[in-house]
Amino acid sequence: MCNKCGHKSISYNSCRNRHCPKCQYSKREQWILNREADLLPVKYYHVVFTLPCELHPIAKANPSVLYNLLFKSAWYTIKTLAADQKWIGGKTGMIAVLHTWGQNLSFHPHLHCLIPNGAFIPLQQRWVYPRSRRFLFPVRVMSKMYRGAFLKLLVEAYHKNSIVWSTNSWLTLQRQIRNAGFNVYSKLPFGGPTQVLQYLGRYSHRVAITNHRILHVDERVVAFRYKDYRDGKNKTLRLTPEQFTHRFLLHVLPKGFAKIRHFGIYANRSKNKCLTHILHFFERRRKAPITFSAIIHLKQHSHIDIELCPTCMIGRLVRSKLLPPLRGDPFLPNPSALHPQSQQHPPILITYPR
């Protein structure tokens, strides 16, 4: 409510679903600030591990298992090569984010990884750099090791009955993946690690498509804009509602599945100790954590003051009342029957920034 003119404004409850394109903005910005505080004073590589298209059918049927294998095999590759004296000879870290979609909502599982240039030797308490200044590890070496690790884990999961797949289909799949390409892409980010964090942040707390890309919706067609990376042009794709829903649901992750994971020196149980020792070697201190504020962020970047009354443009909005969300049993014909007061007070959250 405005403290000058008495104008009232309503802010509805957020659904808080991690697949919602609107409800994860603050969490995304806070995640980026937290990761920036953990960055070391070294260069970082952006490495992408891709799941071959031959494994897409089994990944759709067993998403949790295949995505976990993707994380494990990618980290095994980086960890093993970093520990090898031929390349570095130390303990490294990795921040990995799972993406399952392309611009046109196609099924394209892959990992975006942020890896520091070098590794830490705990016994000597020092940071060492790779043998070569041109690359972290050779792409062909990473691809070969990633392929071997993934296929080994895949066979073990099948024999443990963790994968639901028929015997005939499994034998056919084994023949298909013999020559499958386990592609690994690696480059040094031109804008530094902060640029990659911003890139990962755009996809870390949402899924597949945002509202502004959807151009038209009716009973017969859903039209949305996408970028074709083959020619770099923006194009429009039209799908039936059923096709659009099917593509969108391919990217809804299993309940409780962690799509952002930290390994090595960035793992939660060893991060504080490892980063403290590494920064001591560089004669640096860890940055103090920063709490994200949507009010300050909008003022600085969009020049929008959400505390200003939209009616009189003089007063300030203050919180006047908070109504908790009221939810009934979804299996009952009338969910509001469990909460008769919900008919008088709709399930909304009225918030007015101070």
Give the global pTM. 0.81
Q: Which amino acid is at 143?
A: S
Q: Report if residue 346 sits inside a domain.
A: no
* Residue 322 · residue 351 · CB < 8 Å: yes
Packing angle, helices 294-301 and 25-37, rounded to 10: 90
Tell me the chain's radius of gyration from C-alpha atoms.
24
Inside any domain, residue 218: yes
Residue 345 confidence (pLDDT): 41
- For 313-352, b/e burial (b = at least 16 CB within 10 A) is eebebeeeeeeeebeeeeeeeeeeeeeeebeeeeebebbb
Residue 134 neighbours by CB distance under 10 Å: 7
300 occurs within a structural domain: no
> By three-state DSSP, how is residue 82 classified?
helix
* 312 falls within a domain: no
Q: Give pLDDT < 50 ranges for the chain.
A: 335-354
Is residue 127 located within the same domain as residue 77? yes
Verify that 168 and 281 share a domain, yes or no. Answer: yes
For residue 334, being part of any structural domain is answered with no
Q: Are 77 and 178 part of one and the same domain? A: yes
Q: Is 88 found in the same domain as 233?
A: no
Angle between helices 193-204 and 25-37 (to 10 degrees): 150
For residue 240, give the amino acid letter: T
Round to whole Å and give the CA distance between 82 and 334: 59
Claim to verify: residue 89 and residue 230 sit in the same structural domain: no
Helix (H, G, I), strand (E, B) or coil at 291: coil
Are the CB atoms for 127 and 299 separated by under 8 Å?
Answer: no
Same domain, 170 and 241: no
3-state DSSP call for residue 215? strand
Question: Could you say which of 233, 260, 285 is where a domain stops?
Answer: 285
107, 218: one domain: no
Instruction: Quote the pLDDT of residue 151.
Output: 94
Q: Count Cβ atoms below 10 Å from residue 123 Cβ, excluding itself.
A: 6
Tell me the two tokens of residue 175. 């023949």
Q: Which of 200, 198, 188 is nearest to 134 (CA)?
A: 188
Q: How many domains does the chain have?
A: 2
Contacts of 100 (CB under 8 A, 6+ apart): 107, 108, 109, 110, 250, 251, 253
Same domain, 92 and 185: yes
The pLDDT score that the predictor gives to residue 333 is 56
Asked whether residue 153 falls in the same domain as residue 198, the answer is yes
Helices (H) and strands (E) in the chain, counts: 9, 10
- H-helix or E-strand spanning residue 234: strand 233-239
Residue 22 included in any domain: no
pLDDT at 351: 43
Residues in the chain: 354
The verdict on 185 and 158 lying in the same domain is yes
Residue 332 in domain? no
Do 90 and 69 reside in the same domain of the chain? yes
90 DSSP assignment: S
Domain boundary residue, one of 191, 223, 250? 250
In the Cβ-directed half-sphere of 176, how many Cα atoms lie within 13 Å? Answer: 13
- Torsion angle in degrees (nearest 10) through CA of 118, 120, 126, 131: -30
Q: Convert the pLDDT of each residue in 24-58 to its tens digit.
A: 777 788 888 888 888 899 989 999 999 999 999 99
Same domain, 145 and 183: yes
Domain range spanning residue 267?
39-208+252-285
Q: Is residue 82 part of a domain?
A: yes
